[in-house]
Structure 1
C-alpha cells in the first residue's frame, strides 16, 4: 500500500511527540534552538543524548555548513565534541552533508512503543519503588559499569526530571545491585529507561522482572501506552521488549567527526 502524504505527516507528528517525551525524560542542563535544531548540552554528565544537536523539522535545511560551525563553537566552549542525533525529523540535506564530510555513524537506536492494554502483566511482581536518588544513581552506575565519579552529574539529571519518575533496583542478598530500571509517567504515556542488568547476572530474567514491574506500575497510574529506546545492536534487549508487544516506531543515529570514547 502506498504511503500517503497524510500518513507521512501523521508519522512525523508521532515522532515529534516521542522525541519531546524523551527529552523531558532525560533533561539536558540547557537547550537552545537554532531554527528547529535543538542544541542540548549538559556539562556535568557526558551522555550523548544530553550533549547533541537534534534537528526536529525535515524542512529546516538552510545554511547547513554555517550552522554546523556555529554549533561546533558552542560545543567546544562547553568542552564537548559536536555530536548530531538524527531521527527521521532531520533534513535529508543535513544527512547528505555529513555523509560527504565523512562524519561517523554510531549507536543506532530503536524507539519502540506498545499498547499497555494488550500486554499480559498478571505475573509481574509489585515491587516497592526506590525514592533515594543517590542510592539509585550508585546502583545504576555500578550495573552499567560506569565510573562513580559521574554520580553528581547523573543525580542532577534525575532530580531535574519533571514528569513523575519511579525507580527500581534489584539487589542481591548482600545488597549488591543486580539490575535497575526507571519509569517516567506523563499523562497517558510512560517511558521505561535505564534498564540494565549486571553483566554476570544476565539471562536470568532480572531485566524482564524489572520491566514487567515498571509497566504494571505505570499502567496502574493510568498510562495507556509505553515507549522505550534500545540500541539496534542489543538483540537480547530488543527480543525482550518484543515479547511484551513493543514494536518499532522509528530509529535515530548519532553522527560525529570521530566516534567518541564514552
Structure 2
C-alpha cells in the first residue's frame, strides 16, 4: 500500500492539518521526519512521522530514534502514510522486526449544503467536554491529564460537541478548524447507546459548526477494522483520501 497515491496538495494539506490538530507535547524534526513525544498517550502523538522524502541514510536515523524513545521509556513507533512513497523505510522497519499494526483510513468530504445542527447537540467548554468524554470512553484518571494537556496545545479553533438524549450525554466529539479544513477527532458514543443514530447526528452537527467557521472540507481517521464506523461515515458522504499504518518495535 505504500506510495499507492502520488502526492497531491489535498492529501499533504490534510496530513499536515491532522498533525496540527493532534499536537505532541514535545517534538523534534529529523531530516523530513517529525519525532513526537507525549508520555505515551496515543500512538499519533508518540511516533516518528515521515512527512517528506529524506536525504540521509534511514538506518542511522532509525537507530537514533530508538535511542530517543528508549530514554523516554517508550516503545519506538513509526507512522507511515500513502501520501508519499515510504516503501524503502517500511521495508527496513520490517527487516528490523517492527510489526505492522492498526491500518487506518483517512476519509474526506466536501462540506456543501452544511447540515443544520441537531436540536439535541450542544457546544460546551473544554472542561465540561473532557468530563463527558472521560465518562463515555471510561478513560483512566492519569490519562485524562495527558489528554487535557494535548487538547490545550491545539492552536486552531476547537469545537467541543456533545449529543444528548433524554437530557443525558450519549456521544461527543471534537472538530478542529484550520482554514478551509475541519478535522473530526475523539468521536465516542456511550456503549449502550450505539447504533441508534447518535454518532451520525453528532458528526453532522460538527460538520455544520465547522462550515459556519469557514471550513469547506472535512476529514477524519478511522481504523480499517471498524466496519460500523466506516459504514456510518460513508453514509455521511466521506470517501477514502489516503491510508496510514504503524510500525511498532518488537
TM-score, normalization: structure 1? 0.87
Matches within 5 A, 1:147-226: 147-171=140-164, 173=166, 175=168, 177-226=169-218
Q: Which residue of 2 aligns with 1:76?
A: 70
Q: Runs (4+) of structure 1 moved beyond 4 Å? A: 171-175
**Number of aligned pairs?**
245
2-side partners of 1:146 and 1:97: how far apart?
A: 35
- Whether 1:144 and 2:142 are equivalent positions in the alignment is no
Seen in structure 2, the aligned counterparts of structure 1 residues 122 and 171 have a Cα distance that, compared at 3 Å, is closer
Contact 2:120 2:163 in 1 (8 A): no
For structure 1, which segment, 240-249 or 138-147, has the greater mean C-alpha deviation from structure 2 after superposition? Answer: 138-147
> In the alignment, is the contact (CA less than 8 A) between 2:77 and 2:248 conserved in 1?
yes
Distance across 2 between alignment mates of 1:232 and 1:17: 22
Counterpart of 1:4 in structure 2 is none
Residue of structure 2 in register with 1:38 after alignment: 34
Q: Report which stretch shifted further, 240-249 or 94-103.
A: 94-103
Residues 120, 163 of structure 1: alpha-carbon distance in 2 compared, 3 angstrom cutoff: closer
What is the Cα-based RMSD across aligned positions, in Å?
2.0
Query: 1:172 offset after TM fit, Å?
Result: 5.5
- Give the secondary structure class of the aligned counterpart of 2:225: coil
Note the C-alpha offset of 1:15: 2.3
For residues 172 and 246 of structure 2, the distance between their equivalents in structure 1, rounded to whole angstroms, comes to 25
Aligned residue number for residue 234 of structure 2: 242
Contact 2:35 2:48 (C-alpha < 8 Å) held by counterparts: yes
Task: Calculate the TM-score normalised by the size of structure 2.
Answer: 0.91
State whether structure 2 residue 65 is matched by structure 1 residue 67.
no
